[in-house]
A and B are shown apart, each in its own frame.
Chain A
Amino acid sequence: MHAKALRSVVPALLVAALVLAPERATAEDFIIVQSTTSTQNSGLYDHLLPQFREKTGIEVRVVAVGTGQAIKNAQNCDGDVLLVHAKAAEERFVAEGYGVSRSDVMYNDFVLVGPAADDAAIAGGKDVTAALAKIEAAAAPFASRGDDSGTHKKELALWTAAGIDPLGASGTWYRETGSGMGATLNIAVGMGAYAMTDRATWIAFGNKAGHRILVEGDERLFNQYGIILVNPERCANVKAEQGQRFIDWILSDEGQSAIADYRRDGKQLFFPNARIS
């Protein structure tokens, strides 16, 4: 009985010890970057971060969520650096004291994608607001992020510029998915809907089926990324020194050319535009 009990208790304890082994022994030297699904899904970080680590030994852990959630997480001090694309919200974040200062990092652009059938006949156009007006007029299905992300905010601003309030049609031709970029694209492909996406995500997206880019090149589709150090005066846990090193590196010539070097299918996805003083 005694020996039998031991025989079953010992392996159980061993398993417990194995699975509960301390885990924080790895890389004390790391920072957390709150960022967006679009940058993560494009594969850009897999290209940039090893170079930065090589140079500095600092590990960068990326939490990829919607811009809205990324900003919220950073406000909760759950991150050292914020790298997102919603300029107005970013400037407010800094103005309210959550961040130290904001710098432009790079841009890519948004595109309108849609099914080959193109019921609203927007293909080849350059004027994004005209295209949106055609979609509304045709009541053709349009898949919106609907998640308060940077992309979503941009899309809403464009509808406003076109003089349309799509929310009135929500649930009919205007479909708010409440999901990330990739999930929204999956839905758009599934239901033959139009959608607005950043070009990087679209190029890297693997489930295009018959969908393709229909409208691109309008200046209003410009998508600016900014980087902000979370304010260490508000958040004592912020690793300000390592975070600043990451920011300095990504804004440096070396970081900027690393961004420019990143290509998918031979196409450059992001265009560095840091203004180094």
Chain B
Amino acid sequence: MQDFGAAFVEAFALIVNFDAQLAEIIGLSLRVTLSAVVIACVIGLPLGALLAVTRFPGRGLVVAVISGLMGLPPVVVGLGVYLLLSSAGPLGVLQLLYTPTAMIIAQAILVTPIVAALTRQVIDDLHIEYDELLRSLGSSRMETVATLLWDARYSLLTAALAGLGRAFAEVGAVMIVGGNINHVTRVMTTAIALETSKGALALALGLGIILVCLSVLINAGLMGLRRTAERMAYA
């Protein structure tokens, strides 16, 4: 397919001529995605840890539901958030539809179950090791959660990165609640969808290549940071 080679040329040209429009789209992508992941971590980390350290009837079901929600279809989330934020919806007065905030909300909903489910797994293992010690010290539940989260922080980075990957690549939800408005809510993925629908396949693929490169860069950067920090803490 001749478009494939053209896509790399296109991607290279985009990077070389790095223009304001591209910078704006990349900037908004990063802002929306990182905000969503920060919010998802604020909710998902304690939630996952709490699930790991508590035992209550129906816990298995809650764990199964949260794990299942890792596969939430973005379009469904987008539709749900649209109905909530629509002027005809219950939160319509906030006038958040077609703003980056709406996109952040939708992506936070998508990412929170991922962070919570992966956190539960990581904390489960550490909790088995720390349980008797912390109980003998008389740690309250909140202190236990805080200790486990802090000590698992480097492993939990992986959970955050999984969420970041999901948010960064997602198009269905942000398309519906953001509206792909030029200069306002257009991000990398919705721009790719738009260029595809215009039949500008090489340009779309070129943007895709840039998206993948950014994703790899962010991951590599954070993993490198983790390795350095871990070395400082463990050795």
Contacts and interface: CB of A to CB of B under 8 A. Distances in A.
Interface of A: 8, 15-16, 19-20, 23-24, 32, 37, 40-41, 45-46, 61-64, 73, 75-78, 180-183, 185-186, 189, 204-208, 235, 237
Q: Which 9 A-B pairs have the closest CB atoms?
A: A182-B197, A207-B199, A77-B87, A63-B179, A76-B88, A206-B199, A205-B199, A206-B200, A19-B35
Given A61-B184, A62-B182, A63-B181, A78 B87 contact: yes
A25 to B, nearest CB: 12
Interface string B150-186: 0000000000000000000000000000011110100
B211 interface: no
A63 B180 contact: yes
Contacts of B203: 206
Contacts of A63: 98, 179-181
Interface stretch (B52-60, B89-97, B130-138): B89-97
A134 B30 CA distance: 51
A77 B182 CA distance: 21
Nearest to A76: B88
B98 A61 contact: yes
Interface centre among A23, A37, A186, A235 (most CB of B within 10 A): A23
Contacts of B198: 41, 182, 204-206
A41 to B, nearest CB: 5
25 contacts: A8-B229, A15-B34, A15-B38, A16-B35, A20-B35, A24-B101, A41-B194, A41-B197, A61-B181, A62-B182, A64-B180, A76-B88, A76-B89, A77-B86, A77-B87, A78-B87, A78-B88, A182-B197, A182-B198, A204-B198, A205-B198, A206-B198, A207-B200, A207-B201, A208-B199
Contacts of A73: 86
Given A24-B99, A78-B98, A237-B95, A62 B181 contact: yes
B141 interface: no
Given A15-B34, A19-B35, A78-B86, A182 B98 contact: no
A237 B199 CA distance: 36
A157 B166 CA distance: 42
A113 to B, nearest CB: 12
Interface residues of B, number: 30
Interface of B: 30-31, 34-35, 38, 86-89, 92, 95, 97-101, 179-182, 184, 194, 196-201, 203, 229
B9 to A, nearest CB: 15
B180 to A, nearest CB: 7
A78 B184 CA distance: 16
Contacts of B194: 40-41
A182 B199 contact: yes
B197 A78 contact: no
A181 B199 CA distance: 10
Nearest to A69: B176
Given A15-B38, A207-B199, A237-B87, A46 B181 contact: no
Contacts of A75: 88
A109 B197 CA distance: 19
A76 B92 CA distance: 10
Contacts of A205: 198-199
Nearest to B42: A16
B199 A185 contact: yes
**A61, A185, A204 interface centre (most CB from chain B within 10 Å):** A61
Contacts of B201: 186, 206-207
Contacts of A181: 197
Given A62-B181, A63-B98, A19 B31 contact: yes
A37 B179 CA distance: 11
Nearest to B93: A237
A37 B195 CA distance: 12
Nearest to B229: A8
B92 A77 contact: yes
Contacts of B229: 8
A16 B199 contact: no
Among A46, A63, A189, the one with the most B-chain Cβ atoms within 10 Å of its Cβ is: A63
Nearest to B28: A23
A180 B98 contact: no
Contacts of A207: 199-201
